[in-house]
Amino acid sequence: MAAKTLTIDGTQISAENHITVLQAATEAGVKIPTLCHLEGVYDVGACRLCLVEVKGTAKLLPACTTRVYEGMEVATDSERLRKYRRMTLELLFAERNHVCAVCVSNGHCELQTLAYSLGMDHVRYDYCSPKWGVDATHRLFGMDHNRCILCTRCVRACWHIEGAGTKNVAGRGGKSMIITDLNEPWGNSETCTACGKCVSACPTGALSAKGSTVSEMQHDRSKLEFIVNAREKKQWSV
Amino acid sequence: MSQRIVIDPVTRIEGHAKISVFVDDAGNVSGAEFHVVEFRGFEKFCEGRPYTEMPGITPRICGICPVSHLLASAKAGDAIMAVNIPVAADKLRRLMNLGQLVQSHALSFFHLSAPDFLLGWDSPAAQRNVFGLIANHADLARAGIRLRQFGQEIIEVLGARKIHPAWAVPGGVRSPLSKEGAEKIRAWLPEAFATTRTALDLFKRVLSTHQHEVQLYGNFPSLFMGLVAADGGWEHHGGNLRFMDSSGSIIADQIAPKDYLSVIGESVQDNSYLKSPYYLPLGSTDGVYRVGPLARLNICTHMGVSQADAELKNFKSFGHGAVTSSFLYHYARLIEILASLEWIERYLDDADLFSQDLRADAGINSLRGVGASEAPRGTLFHDYTVDRNGLLQKVNLIVATGQNNLAMNRTVAQIAQHFARGPEITEAMLNRIEHGIRCYDPCLSCSTHAAGRMALLVRMIAPDGRVLHEVRRD
């Protein structure tokens, strides 16, 4: 496998062919903020938090879906990137109803953590305050669309780790929503195995264990990584 | 020509309320209305939320007594789950509520009300506040602030934060009392007792020179309502409802909080977002009742702790039957602090509080749940109706300030009747009306007086809407 030589933030590194800028940066110890990226499933470039500057390209590119190439020059941190990342975060907060203080994931939320780390102390855009509901029909889990950022981690975990294919995305634009089967109440789903991988994958309080109270929901991502690693490395072969 | 005087506090913090005083053709005050003009909408926007989130959402109603909403909400959740919570959880919730009573009552007495009667009713408004108290009575002010801090520490020791702890949950509580926490509270208790004793002695001296205020500040017959224990003892978190009239006769007793609608009606007042509850069998005119410390001490026979019981006996001597002067809310508040401290001391030696058996688990077993708890200001009800998945369909919150609304109207009218001199709005009248409201310790007082002075817009309005006289103080 041919290696590519590129620079990230001025440091020359060597990366395997066909890996993404995000992977290369992670291997080189450079942290790029992400939300929709989830170890173990493919990337979709949905959240736009991992945007980077690539020399020779005017557009900002998502690190999670951009492949490395020979001689590539990547900048992961600049005034322009910080501005766009913060704007993206503010738009995410403005789009639905994210009220950290009373959220089940308060203190354990990737969206909240990013907002803190990027210095987002207020939202400059008008809140959309849409009327989204809560699907509490499942006996174990709840889905609060108010807190969903449409990262589709749950969909990818459901299809590609569990293989159940229960979760999907319906609608377009701001009216997009995560659905169960053909938009059935979650509790009525015949395909859901109640494995909870979608809940583990969720970066916010959108998916939670039923009965969770404020700050109680902690998503355990390590189980997903454990399963994916075991499968890919044939640890379960007999 | 009949006139209406409007006192509209346009505070520098947040607009909360205004007061209208109605004057008849002869220039005499005929009535008063206390309006809360700020719309919160909690009952509406909580619809659709899981009931399990309510103990996290409803405490955000207020930063002064969030614990009261936390506990009432958790209790409503217990009722939806239809569980008996572990004994330890009940005792721990009680301990937190005692801390809440101490901190809120200390705030009301030292920070908000004491400046009025220690610095003088007509002392400059700019100094008649806790900072003026610090300047003139430094030791007392410091001790009062420390007493409030003691109550806050109890809340923090249990719930990990002083304000808005997400600690009580449907089915119980999240964590027990720690040994270190217990020792911290124990070490602080002697100072808290000493401060409370000082305040009681001080207030008794105030009483000896303020008989005029005792007679005038909301001294009228009304009903009194609150929770009492099965044996008629003082309650602050469990028990059932009791109504007493001003002669001291019990007119309704041991009514389960879930049946509150059989005894409490709610009238809606024009120009106010505050509902006006009344004792249903007697209607909205005769069914005016008061809640809070004055009511709780009136309706109970004993407090179960020696020092407070001795004070309770003295308190009851101020009434023929029930104690009817709202000025004595202050005294009742101090006695409740004393009782709370004695109960806290007793709890510290209770092994149950260190138990790990803290939380019952269950699904939705009842589609309606009512939780009641005694907030510092009075009985608080949370009434939730959920669907079979636990999402809220209907929320009804009956808060203490609302239940005192009709009594506050009468208090303002009584004070205004005495101090009003024709269409002129005098400073003396304004100061005393402020304190009349402050006796009830509604949220209005904490958002205005503590910041310096109550900003007021007072208007005398003729029936045709003309403003005859206006006084603005902001």
C-beta of residue B108 within 8 angstroms of C-beta of residue B376? yes
Q: Which residues does residue A179 pair with via DSSP β-bridges, in sequence order?
A: A168
| Shared-domain flag, residues A122 and A189 | yes
Can you give the pLDDT at residue B443?
64
Helices B405-419 and B427-438, packing angle to 10 deg? 160
Asked if A140 reaches chain B (Cβ–Cβ under 8 Å), the answer is no
Minimum Cα–Cα distance from A133: chain B residue: B48
> Taking CB atoms and an 8 Å limit, are A104 and B389 in contact across chains?
no
Q: What is the mean pLDDT of residues A142-171?
A: 96
What's the half-sphere exposure (Cβ side, CA atoms, 13 Å) at B88? 18
**CB-based contact (8 Å) between A212 and chain B?**
yes
Structural domain span for residue A189: 103-225
CB contact under 8 A, B53 and A102: yes
Residue B413 belongs to some domain of the structure: no
Residue A174, chain B, CB below 8 Å: the answer is no
Chain B neighbors of A101, CB-CB under 8 A? 56, 60, 164
Phi, psi dihedral angles at B262 (to 5 degrees): -80, -15
Taking 90 as the threshold, does the pLDDT of residue B4 lie above it?
Answer: no
First-to-final CA distance of chain B: 29
Residue A96 placed within a domain? no
How far apart CA B343 and CA B196 sit, in angstroms, is: 14
A58 shares a domain with A113: no
**Residues on chain A touching B52 (C-beta within 8 angstroms):** 210-213
Band (pLDDT 50/70/90 cuts) for residue A162 is very high
pLDDT at B158 exceeding the cut of 90: yes
- Distance to chain B for A65, nearest Cα, Å: 37
Selected for mutation to probe chain B from A97, A99, A102 (highest B CB count within 10 Å) is: A102
Check if the beta carbon of residue B277 is closer than 8 Å to that of residue B398.
Answer: yes
| Whether A71 and A138 share a structural domain | no
Residue B17: its pLDDT value, please?
A: 62
Residue B349 in any domain: the answer is: no
Q: CB B48 to CB A134 under 8 A?
A: yes
Residue A221 belongs to a domain: yes
In 3D space, the residue among B452, B460, B392, B379 whose CA is nearest the CA of residue B426 turns out to be B460
pTM: 0.89
Å between B397 CA and nearest CA of chain A: 18
A101 to chain B, minimum CA–CA distance in Å? 8
Overall domain count for chain B:
1
Alpha helices in B83-178 (DSSP H): 87-106, 114-119, 130-136, 138-159
The predicted pLDDT at position B14 comes to 31
Burial class of residue B390 (count of CB atoms within 10 Å of its CB; 0-12, 13-18, 19+): buried
Residue pair B145/B152 in contact by the 8 Å Cβ criterion: no
Q: Nearest CB to A102: which of B60, B174, B390?
A: B60
Whole-angstrom Cα distance, residue B266 to residue B281? 12
Give me B331's structure tokens: 């005294």
- Residues 6 or more apart in contact with residue B259 via CB below 8 angstroms: none
Residues A67 and A111 in one domain: no
CA–CA gap between residue B343 and residue B355 (Å, rounded): 19
Asked, for residue B392, whether it belongs to a domain, the answer is no
Residue A238 lies in a domain: no
**Is the Cβ pair B166, A214 closer than 8 Å?**
yes
Section B215-230 average pLDDT: 95
Q: Which of A102, A133, A211 sits opposite B56 (nearest CB)?
A: A102
Of residues B156 and B13, more confidently modeled? B156
Say if A214 is an interface residue toward chain B (CB within 8 Å): yes
CA-to-CA dists, residue B412 to B326, B338, B430, angstroms: 11, 29, 10
Provide the pLDDT for residue B464.
58
The letter for the amino acid at A156 is R
* Domain-located, residue A90: no
Of A77, A93, A120, the one marking the end of a domain is: A77
Residue A126 lies in a domain: yes
pLDDT of B334-374, one tens digit each?
999 999 999 999 999 999 999 999 999 999 999 999 999 99
What is residue B212's predicted lDDT score, i.e. its pLDDT?
86
Give the domain range for residue B27.
Answer: 3-40+426-473
The whole-number average pLDDT for the span B389-406 is 89
Q: Which residues of A touch B59 (CB under 8 A)?
A: none
The pLDDT value recorded for residue B30 is: 76
Task: Tell me the chain A residues in contact with residue B57 when contact means C-beta distances shorter than 8 Å.
Answer: 102
Chain A residue numbers touching B391 (CB-CB < 8 A): 134, 136
Say what the pLDDT of residue B70 is.
94
pLDDT category, A157, cuts 50, 70, 90?
very high
| In the block, residue with structure tokens 């004994």 | B87
In tens, the pLDDT along B83-135 reads 999 999 999 999 999 999 999 999 999 988 888 888 887 777 777 778 888 88
Nearest to B439 by CA among B330, B304, B309, B282: B330
In a domain, B48, yes or no: no
Of B166, B174, B389, the CB nearest to A136: B389
Judge if A112 and A174 occupy the same domain: yes
Q: Is A134 on the interface with B (CB under 8 A)?
A: yes
With respect to residue B231, please indicate whether it lies within any of the assigned structural domains: no
Q: Which residues pair with B279 in a beta bridge?
A: B264
Please name the residue that has the structure tokens 């409490």. B264
Number of other residues whose CB lies within 10 A of the CB of residue B210: 17
Higher pLDDT, B417 or A92: A92
Give the number of A-B residue pairs with CB atoms closer than 8 Å. Answer: 42
B16 pLDDT more than 80? no
Q: Is B240 helix (H, G, I), strand (E, B) or coil?
A: strand
If one counts the domains in chain A, the total is 2
Per the prediction, chain B carries an average pLDDT of 86
Taking the Cβ of residue A102 and every Cβ of chain B, the question of whether any pair is shorter than 8 Å is answered with: yes
B390–A136 CB contact, under 8 Å: yes
Please, is A94 exposed, middle or buried when counting C-beta atoms within 10 Å of its C-beta (0-12, 13-18, 19+)?
middle
Residue B12: the pLDDT is 25
β A177-180/A167-170 pair status: antiparallel
Q: Is B463 within a domain? A: yes
Q: Which of A101, A187, A211 sits opposite B52 (nearest CB)?
A: A211
Q: Tell me if B70 is assigned to some domain.
A: no
Structure tokens at A230: 């075991």
- Interface ipTM: 0.88
Task: Give A119-131 pLDDT, tens digit per residue.
Answer: 999 999 999 999 9
A73 and A159 in a common domain? no
Q: Nearest CB to A102: which of B48, B57, B169?
A: B57
Please check whether residues A117 and A201 belong to one and the same domain: yes
Whether A128 has its CB under 8 Å from any CB of chain B: the answer is: no
- pLDDT class for B38, splitting at 50, 70, 90? low
Query: How confident is the model over A15-35, as pLDDT tens digits?
Result: 999 999 999 999 999 999 999
Contact B353, B362 (CB under 8 A): no
Higher pLDDT, B299 or B25: B299
**Mutating which of A108, A214, A215 best tests the B interface, going by the most B Cβ atoms within 10 A?**
A214
- Looking at the fold, whether A118 and A220 belong to one and the same domain comes out as yes
User: B28: distance to nearest CA of chain A, Å?
Assistant: 50
pLDDT the model gives residue B457 = 54
Interface of chain B toward chain A, CB-CB under 8 angstroms: 48-50, 52-53, 55-57, 60, 164, 166, 169-170, 174, 361, 389-391
Tokens of A13: 């590194």
pLDDT at B160: 85
Q: What CA–CA distance (Å, rounded) separates B70 from B62?
A: 11
Q: How far is CA A197 from the centre of its chain?
A: 14
Average pLDDT, chain A: 94
Same domain, A135 and A191: yes
The pLDDT confidence band at residue B398, using thresholds 50, 70 and 90, is: confident
Q: What is the DSSP string of B296-326?
A: HHHH-S--SSHHHHHHHHHHHTTSBSB--BG
Q: Does residue A20 sit in the same domain as residue A130?
A: no
**Which DSSP letter does residue B123 get?**
S
Residue A185: give its domain's CATH number: 3.30.70.20
Of B53, B60, B389, the CB nearest to A104: B53
Which candidate, B379, B247, B392, B383, places its Cα nearest to that of B320? Answer: B247
Which tokens go with B330?
């202050």
Residue B306, pLDDT above cutoff 90: yes
Q: Are strands A3-8 and A73-75 parallel, antiparallel or unpaired?
A: parallel
pLDDT tens digit sequence for B251-286: 999 999 999 999 999 887 666 666 788 999 999 889
Cβ–Cβ under 8 Å, residues A136 and B391: yes
Structural domain includes residue B116: no
Give the nearest partner residue to B53 out of A133, A187, A214, using CB atoms: A214
Residues of A in contact with B51 (CB under 8 A): none
> What single string gives the DSSP state of each residue in chain A?
--EEEEEETTEEEEEETT-BHHHHHHHTT-----SS--TTS-----S-TTEEEETT-SSEEETTTPBP-TT-EEE---HHHHHHHHHHHHHHHHHTT--GGG-TTTTS-HHHHHHHHTT--S--SPP------EE--SSSEEEEGGG-----HHHHHIIIII----EEEESSGGG-EEEETTT--GGG-SS-----HHHHH-SSSSEEETT--TT-----THHHHHHHHHHHTTTT--
User: Are A167 and A116 part of one and the same domain?
Assistant: yes
